[in-house]
Amino acid sequence: MRVTLEGHLGKARFMSPFPASEPVLQHFEFPLADFVASNPAIDPARLAHVRFVFDRTATGVVVDNVGFRVATP
């Protein structure tokens, strides 16, 4: 299973001094309302911890710059 997307950098690999591909940065957004809809026992006001588990590949995944945004009504 591939866990990252790769973008090709050159038009013809044999003509380019650059690497054939590189990881593509990705942005994901998960509204808390989606989690509440799935499990009404979740109370976003009492949220104290968030844990990410990446256990579907043997090599693992590197995650950087995780952020949280509070939406204002």
β partners of residue 21: 8
Q: What angle do CA 50, 55, 58 make, to 5 degrees?
A: 150
> How does pLDDT run across 48-64, given as a tens digit for each residue?
888 888 777 777 667 77
The residue count of the chain comes to 73
The span from the CA of 32 to the CA of 20, in Å, is 38
Single-letter residue type at 11: K
Neighbours of 33 (CB within 10 A): 11
DSSP state of 33: H
> How does pLDDT run across 10-25, given as a tens digit for each residue?
566 666 676 666 666 6
